Structure 1
Amino acid sequence: MSIIHITEETFDKEVLESPVPVLIDFWADWCGPCRMLAPTIDELEQQYRGKLHVGKIDIDQQPKLALVHKVMSIPTVSIYAHGKEVKRLIGLRDKPELDAVIQEVLAAK
């Protein structure tokens, strides 16, 4: 599976009903830190393929999702497990930090 581009119409199916945890990158094309984070998100998708789904939500294309999920700053990375948000990281984060959070979530499932 590759990175999922999540929309308002697909959020429930792709995130809330997912059998595995889902990492969501809330981002926008004009956001410099979001562009800096993108290669890390791609690496994480490949590293955790089969254990974790990775999705992106463009807040300019999906403003309602950003509002409903109270995303006030980007990049915001949220991890959902069993239909609930279990972790949220706001701002640019490095791969070791994201790795540690993902490992924690996968260990708890």
Structure 2
Amino acid sequence: MSSVIEIADEQFEQEVFEADKPVLVYFWASWCGPCRLVSPSINWIADNYSDRLKVVKLEIDPSPTSVAKCNVEGVPALRLFNNNEIVASHEGAIGKQQLQKMLDDHL
């Protein structure tokens, strides 16, 4: 069972800005092919980094407010928040090792 939390616009503030540790937000869409390639890595990160990172998943189509707030221009997209600031971001497909490096550089 993955520890990725699925959210929408309504939960964004609470789950991301009120979190007590860094949060990786994964923006995705059901019609996005590359998102299907990235999802297993996101699940792996959620399971293996859970002691120091919270992972949330937000579908872009029903959540335009959060998409605009985070300047997401394409999916898959990642935003790493720490203390309410975006400290790292990535758009497009990303491999597990690249993702680990991005997180390790900022955690």
- Work out whether the TM-score is over 0.5: yes
Partner of 1:89: 90
Aligned mates of 1:52, 1:40 — CA distance in 2? 14
Count of aligned positions: 106
| Offset from partner CA, 1:40-61 (integer Å, 9 cap, x none) | 1001101101210001110012
Whether 2:64 is the aligned partner of 1:67: answer: no
- Structure 2: which amino acid aligns with 1:91? G
The one-letter code of the counterpart of 2:98 is: E
Structure 2, unaligned runs of 5 or more = none
> How does the TM-score come out when normalised to structure 1?
0.91
Runs of 4 or more, structure 1, over 4 Å off, are none
Residue 69 of structure 1: how far off its partner (Å): 1.7
Q: TM-score, normalization: structure 2?
A: 0.93
Whole-Å separation in 2 of the counterparts to 1:89 and 1:68: 15
Kindly indicate whether the alpha-carbon contact (under 8 Å) linking 2:26 and 2:76 is maintained by their aligned counterparts in 1: yes
How far the C-alpha of 1:11 sits from its partner, in A, is 1.1
1:19-50, CA deviations, whole angstroms, 9 ceiling, x for partnerless residues? Answer: 11111110000000001100110011011012
For residue 93 of structure 1, report the CA deviation from its aligned partner: 0.6
